[in-house]
Amino acid sequence: MSAPVIDRAGRARDAVAREAWGEAYALLHARDRHPDEALTPDDLGALSDAAWWSGHLDESVAARLRAHAAHVAAGDHRGAGLAAWWLHYEYAGLGRPAVAAGWLHRARHHLDGLPPCPEQSFLAWADAEEATARGDGPAALAATGRMTRLAERSGSPDLLALSRQAASAALLAQGRRAEGLALLDEAMCAAEAGELSGVFTGWLYCLALTQCMEAADFGRAVEWTRTAMEWCAAFGTGDNPFRGVCRAHRVEVLDLLGEWTAAEEEARRACREVPVDCLEAAAAAYCAAGDVQRRQGRLDEAARSYAHAHELGRLPQPGLALLRLAQGLGDAAAAGLRLALACQDARHGPLARARLLAASTEVSLAVGAVRGAADAASKLDALAGDVPLLRALAGTAAGAVALAEDPGAAAPVLRRALDLRLRLRVPYEAAQTRMLLAAADRAAGYEQVRRLGLAFPRDGFEGLGAGPDARRAAALLSAAARRRLPGGLTAREAEVLRLVAGGATNKGVAGALVISEHTVARHLNNIFAKLGVSTRSAATAYAYAHGLV
């Protein structure tokens, strides 16, 4: 080759080594079009990588096909196997599962039977994901074990970090939460420290954010989302294909944190940035935007967002069911949730199922199906374990059911759920729990506490822009103010006075209200003191005079 040709080849390979993908794409693309320059199989693989990073997905696939053919022609089974695996990965992202399966089979054909080599790590990864999808935990862990051994043999930090992430996913799928999250943290430290190549760093961030949300580990989701967005902003001179995917995860975090304006804006940006081989991330962003719009009473906009998510292949539940409930279509809401729960499989994490069960509890109570609500709340309680985000969901659902079945038992459950939600710093969910707690306080006769309990969520909803909830809380607060009892009596004291005015003895009052005679006597002492009377007959006269009987 002439000196200029050699120089162009060297500059291109240097750009690839520096992961300056825009520069590498321009140089390799120019070389590929030059009649005097022939790209090697490795150059074609680099051109495919550079085209992918630069957003030219069709060119990426075309270059990878040529790289595979060149490796086959050279008798390089390892190179051909790796190219075939990448084609499997790219076609899967493009929504062509049959073609993807064919290339995975071809990758196995090239690599099976060879001595242990790094390229076989990718086959083990595929084996682990397939086993997890069908619920075969032992097979998934066996595959990640093979992946780890191959990674350690290769000495590749990229493959070792990816093997730890894969093992983490397999452990979490089996409910081995502590082990799985420990491995995930170890893998993510390598990404955060800058020890990995760009594509493996991007993979790990996207996979980790998915795992954290699916496992309902909100603290880790907040932390790794922030770090991922910092990396996306810093890495590469042009577009970073991982930016839109990481941003879509950030939308979910902002939604829970109550930063709804930022969440909706980030959702719009994510939908513009997500590459066509990661459209499931755009669907998730549309769902999150729909949730914000629904809570703010923008029902038509929410319907459009959920429709966009559905067009991209995602069932937008439970948001769509709660939208139907807000539209007064309770039966449609319940039917949608039944379908969504039936369609879930091992690929969905506990948070997704917990949200469906929580919504099913809410919808069932709204349509008067208390038994169905109790069943959903019971399943949610069994699922929640000791995970704070799930336990808060389960406690709120159980408290809502108790309000319908046994109001006296609701308050302690709801107070525990509220404590968890306050510690998690999820303001909308905390305000929802406060509303239920206010209802429980009213049932227990704590009217003053109830009014304070309604003021908190009203202010919280107003701050978030959750107009429908804020108006409901304000209306209940206004009604509570209008129902203030004379003489400063509580609701429970008024009930005792009504029964006494009707001629009931202390024993009769205790039996009617299912309280002890000692408690009745204490209520009567408080009533006499508040009304300035000293006898039952005087208290009875007061009750008639003030319309309490």
pLDDT tens-place string over residues 279-298: 889 999 999 999 999 999 99
Q: Is the pLDDT of residue 428 over 80?
A: yes
Band the pLDDT of 449: cuts 50, 70, 90.
Answer: very low
Distinct helix (H) and strand (E) counts, the chain: 29, 0
Band the pLDDT of 491: cuts 50, 70, 90.
Answer: confident
Alpha-carbon gap, residue 266 to 251, rounded angstroms: 6
Complete DSSP assignment for 162-219: HHHHHHHHHHHHTT-HHHHHHHHHHHHHHHHTT-S-HHHHHHHHHHHHHHHHHTT-HH
Residue 474 is predicted with a pLDDT of 77
Q: Both tokens of residue 469?
A: 């909830």
Complete DSSP assignment for 321-357: HHHHHHTT-HHHHHHHHHHHHHH--TTS-HHHHHHHH
Residue 509 is predicted with a pLDDT of 87
Q: Is the pLDDT of residue 360 over 70?
A: yes
% of the chain at pLDDT higher than 90:
66
% of the chain at pLDDT higher than 70:
93
Residue 441 is predicted with a pLDDT of 76
Task: For residue range 161-181, list pLDDT tens digits in order.
Answer: 999 999 999 999 998 999 999
Q: What angle do CA 538, 541, 546 make, to 5 degrees?
A: 125
Q: Is the pLDDT of residue 22 over 70?
A: yes
pTM equals 0.79
The one-letter amino acid at 468: P
Band the pLDDT of 425: cuts 50, 70, 90.
Answer: very high
Alpha-carbon gap, residue 337 to 317, rounded angstroms: 7
Alpha-carbon gap, residue 139 to 131, rounded angstroms: 6
Task: For residue range 500-527, list pLDDT tens digits in order.
Answer: 988 889 998 888 777 888 889 999 999 9
Mean pLDDT of the chain: 89
For the residues 126-133, what does the mean pLDDT come to? 93
Q: What is the radius of gyration, based on Cα positions, of the chain?
A: 31
For the residues 351-365, what does the mean pLDDT come to? 94
Q: Is the pLDDT of residue 36 over 80?
A: no
The one-letter amino acid at 63: A
